[in-house]
Amino acid sequence: MKKNLSVVILAAGKGTRMKSNKAKVLHEVFFLPMIHHVLTAVEPLQAGRTVVIVGHQRQAVSAAIAGFKTETVVQEEQLGTGHAVLLTEKVIPAGTGDVMILCGDTPLLRPESLTAMLAQHRASGAGAHGAVCTLMTAHVADPYGYGRVLTTTDGEVIGIVEEKDGTPEEKVIKIINTGIYLIKRDALFTALASVDRNNAQGEFYLTDIIEKLVISNQKVCQFITPDPDEVLGVNSRLELALAHAEIQRRRNQALMLAGVSMESPESIVVALSAKVESDCLLEPSVRLLGTTRLGRGCRVGQGAILTNCRIDASCEIGPYSCLTGVTLTAASVIPPLTCR
């Protein structure tokens, strides 16, 4: 456990563009609340503490993350991301190293990227003139809606401009802020204490800490993510579907590399909680849900749906079967269209 690292996850917003009564971070991506994906991504960092900032539907969000080791801080008023992070000052003691700040609506984040970012930050922060803050950035073809990152010719970060506040010249910048920061704890709260609400939204922007650090001659570096899709923020039903499809693609790719055959993998869904051993064949439109287990060498016919099933080796499931909670011994055969 890295006691000199704290993680803060922003999960207080309403997510009005989702057109839903449900808190945004509770919308499911690949059968799990999207905040679960973020919490899973940060687990390998072994942070000393993980703080989740809740607000809208706080009881429901807190209940949803009860299985993770977290602390919660309540943002009573939605006064912006800067205000939300400032509330964590009371639970992150002074002099406790670095703070990683993320959003709860980025379910595509990979643990490997966060680990690499932490390693770069620690390396660039060494010495008297090292980086106080590292910002994860991405180069995108269409930066509309994202904060633009202003840099020097050497690539050091000197500011972030939000879409609504940007000049025409700033809006053509294709380097965007992903909303992921690594910053020394004391520098973070010193900078936040001087942030104001003088902007188009009338909110305390977390992004303003970059300018505060630069003005005080503190170095800010950037970690450029190699995959811009990884930092997709889910703000609409369309983006929810895109995130689901990407996790499905990653999941199927990993299974095929592990020895599972798939016909039309884009149509096949294997939940993250399901297990499939090598030499299995999954025909088009198969769905393996819940805690389903497939032993080696099984064949699952087109359109079959298996939920919480235990299937031993070399079984054959007929097309369009629907099985729930079924256990099959080795080499069993289920006829097509079986429902049980």
DSSP annotation of 18 reads G
Scan for tokens 């190293």, then name that residue: 97
Q: Is 106 helix (H, G, I), strand (E, B) or coil?
A: coil
User: Of residues 17, 237, 251, 340, which has the active-site annotation?
Assistant: 17
Cα atoms in the Cβ-side hemisphere of radius 13 Å centred on 100: 32
- Annotated catalytic residue 17: yes
CB 148 within 8 A of CB 165: no
- What lies within 8 Å, CB to CB, of 226 at 6+ separation is 113
Q: How much is the CA Rg of the chain, to the nearest whole Å?
A: 23
Measure CA 320 to chain center.
34
Alpha helices (H) in the chain, listed in sequence order: 34-42, 58-64, 81-86, 111-124, 168-171, 185-192, 208-215, 237-257
Q: What are phi and psi of 40, to 5 degrees?
A: -65, -35
Q: Is 111 helix (H, G, I), strand (E, B) or coil?
A: helix
Q: Is 25 helix (H, G, I), strand (E, B) or coil?
A: helix
Residue 74: its H or E element: strand 71-74
Q: Which residues are catalytic?
A: 17
